[in-house]
Chains A and B, each alone.
Chain A
Amino acid sequence: MNYRSSIFVLTCIGLGFAFLYIPILSMVVFSFNASRLVTVWDSANSPTLKWYASLLHNEEILDAAWVSVKVAVINATGSVILGTLAGFGLARFRQFRGRFTLNAMTTAPLVMPEVITGLSLLLLFVALEQLIGWPAGRGITTMTIGHMTFSMAYVTVIVNSRLVSFDTALEEAAMDLGARPLKVFFVITLPIIFPAILSGWLLAFTLSWDDLVISSFTSGPGSSTLPMVVFSKVRLGVSPEINVLATITLGVVTTMIVAVSLWMARRAKIDKASAG
Chain B
Amino acid sequence: MTASSGGAVKAQPWNDLSARPYVEIERITKSFGDFKAVDDVSLKVYKGEIFCLLGASGCGKTTLLRMLGGFETPTSGRVLIDGEDMSGVPPYERPVNMMFQSYALFPHMSVEQNVAFGLKQDRLPKHEIQERVATMLDLVKMSDYAKRKPHQLSGGQRQRVALARSLVKRPKLLLLDEPLGALDKKLREHTQFELISLQDKLGVTFIVVTHDQEEAMTLASRIGVMNHGEIVQAGTPSEIYEFPSSRFVADFVGSVNMFEGKLIEDEPDYVRIRSPEIDAPIYVSHGISAPPGAVVWAALRPEKIFMSVAAPEGGADNVVRGTVQDIAYLGDLSIYLVKLPTGKVVRVTQPNTSRHAEAIGWDQQVYLSWDASSPVVVTR
User: A–B direct touch, CB within 8 Å, in complex?
Assistant: yes
A274 close to B (CB within 8 Å): yes
Across the interface, do B97 and A177 meet the contact criterion of CB distance under 8 Å? yes
A175 close to B (CB within 8 Å): yes
Q: How many residues of chain B get a CB closer than 8 Å to chain A's CBs?
A: 31
Known A-B contacts A177-B118, A178-B122; A169 and B91 likewise in contact (beta carbons under 8 Å)? no
A269 close to B (CB within 8 Å): yes
A13 close to B (CB within 8 Å): no
B15 close to A (CB within 8 Å): no
Residue of B nearest to A273 (CB): B151
Known A-B contacts A169-B102, A173-B98, A270-B107; A178 and B118 likewise in contact (beta carbons under 8 Å)? yes
Across the interface, do A177 and B117 meet the contact criterion of CB distance under 8 Å? yes
B245 to chain A, nearest CB (A): 34
Across the interface, do B121 and A178 meet the contact criterion of CB distance under 8 Å? yes
A176 close to B (CB within 8 Å): yes
Residue of B nearest to A183 (CB): B121
Q: Which residues of A from 173 to 190 have beta carbons under 8 Å from B? A: 173-180, 183, 188
Across the interface, do A178 and B106 meet the contact criterion of CB distance under 8 Å? no
B90 close to A (CB within 8 Å): yes
A184 to chain B, nearest CB (A): 8
Known A-B contacts A176-B69, A180-B92; A169 and B169 likewise in contact (beta carbons under 8 Å)? no
Across the interface, do B121 and A172 meet the contact criterion of CB distance under 8 Å? no
Contact residues in B for A260 (Cβ distance below 8 Å)? none
Across the interface, do B104 and A178 meet the contact criterion of CB distance under 8 Å? no
B191 close to A (CB within 8 Å): no
Across the interface, do B151 and A178 meet the contact criterion of CB distance under 8 Å? no
Residue of B nearest to A184 (CB): B92
Known A-B contacts A177-B117, A177-B118; A172 and B104 likewise in contact (beta carbons under 8 Å)? yes
In the bound complex, CA of A176 to CA of B121 (Å): 10
B169-182 Cβ-contact flags toward A at 8 Å (1 or 0): 10000000000000
Residue among A172, A178, A191, A273 with max Cβ neighbours from chain B (10 Å): A178
A44 close to B (CB within 8 Å): no
Across the interface, do B104 and A175 meet the contact criterion of CB distance under 8 Å? no
Across the interface, do A170 and B106 meet the contact criterion of CB distance under 8 Å? yes
Contact residues in B for A183 (Cβ distance below 8 Å)? 121
A129 close to B (CB within 8 Å): no
In the bound complex, CA of A41 to CA of B306 (Å): 98
A60 close to B (CB within 8 Å): no
Across the interface, do A172 and B92 meet the contact criterion of CB distance under 8 Å? no
B71 close to A (CB within 8 Å): yes
Residue among B69, B100, B122 with max Cβ neighbours from chain A (10 Å): B100
B165 close to A (CB within 8 Å): yes
In the bound complex, CA of A191 to CA of B100 (Å): 20
A151-183 Cβ-contact flags toward B at 8 Å (1 or 0): 000000000000000010110111111111001
A265 close to B (CB within 8 Å): no
Residue of A nearest to B162 (CB): A173
Across the interface, do A191 and B91 meet the contact criterion of CB distance under 8 Å? no
In the bound complex, CA of A175 to CA of B98 (Å): 10
In the bound complex, CA of A176 to CA of B90 (Å): 9
Choose from A172, A180, A274 the contact partner of B105 (Cβ within 8 Å).
A274
Across the interface, do A192 and B104 meet the contact criterion of CB distance under 8 Å? no
B108 close to A (CB within 8 Å): yes
In the bound complex, CA of A274 to CA of B151 (Å): 5
Across the interface, do A173 and B151 meet the contact criterion of CB distance under 8 Å? no
Across the interface, do A172 and B117 meet the contact criterion of CB distance under 8 Å? no
Residue of A nearest to B101 (CB): A169
B117 to chain A, nearest CB (A): 5
Across the interface, do A192 and B108 meet the contact criterion of CB distance under 8 Å? yes
Choose from A170, A179, A273 the contact partner of B92 (Cβ within 8 Å).
A179
B150 close to A (CB within 8 Å): yes
In the bound complex, CA of A275 to CA of B108 (Å): 12
In the bound complex, CA of A176 to CA of B151 (Å): 22
Across the interface, do B107 and A175 meet the contact criterion of CB distance under 8 Å? no
In the bound complex, CA of A271 to CA of B151 (Å): 8
Known A-B contacts A175-B90, A176-B98, A192-B108; A270 and B165 likewise in contact (beta carbons under 8 Å)? no
Choose from A173, A179, A273, A274 the contact partner of B100 (Cβ within 8 Å).
A173
Contact residues in B for A180 (Cβ distance below 8 Å)? 92
Choose from B92, B102, B117 the contact partner of A167 (Cβ within 8 Å).
B102
Q: Which residues of B from 111 to 134 have beta carbons under 8 Å from A? A: 117-118, 121-122
B149 close to A (CB within 8 Å): yes
Contact residues in A for B117 (Cβ distance below 8 Å)? 174, 177, 179
Residue among A174, A191, A274 with max Cβ neighbours from chain B (10 Å): A274
In the bound complex, CA of A183 to CA of B121 (Å): 10
In the bound complex, CA of A191 to CA of B105 (Å): 14
Residue among A169, A174, A176 with max Cβ neighbours from chain B (10 Å): A176
In the bound complex, CA of A275 to CA of B121 (Å): 24
Choose from A169, A269, A271, A276 the contact partner of B104 (Cβ within 8 Å).
A169
Contact residues in B for A175 (Cβ distance below 8 Å)? 71, 90-92
Across the interface, do B118 and A274 meet the contact criterion of CB distance under 8 Å? no
Contact residues in B for A271 (Cβ distance below 8 Å)? 107, 151
In the bound complex, CA of A180 to CA of B169 (Å): 16
Known A-B contacts A175-B92, A177-B169, A269-B151; A188 and B106 likewise in contact (beta carbons under 8 Å)? yes
Across the interface, do A176 and B101 meet the contact criterion of CB distance under 8 Å? no
In the bound complex, CA of A177 to CA of B152 (Å): 23
Across the interface, do A178 and B100 meet the contact criterion of CB distance under 8 Å? no
Contact residues in A for B149 (Cβ distance below 8 Å)? 270, 274
Residue of B nearest to A269 (CB): B151
Could you name 8 residue pairs across A and B whose Cβ atoms are closer than 8 Å? A173-B98, A175-B92, A176-B70, A176-B92, A177-B121, A177-B166, A178-B121, A270-B149
User: Which 10 A-B residue pairs are closest in the complex by CB-CB distance?
Assistant: A273-B151, A177-B118, A178-B121, A274-B107, A173-B104, A169-B104, A169-B100, A274-B150, A175-B91, A270-B151
- Which residues of B are interface residues toward A (Cβ below 8 A)? 69-71, 90-94, 96-98, 100-102, 104-108, 117-118, 121-122, 149-152, 155, 165-166, 169
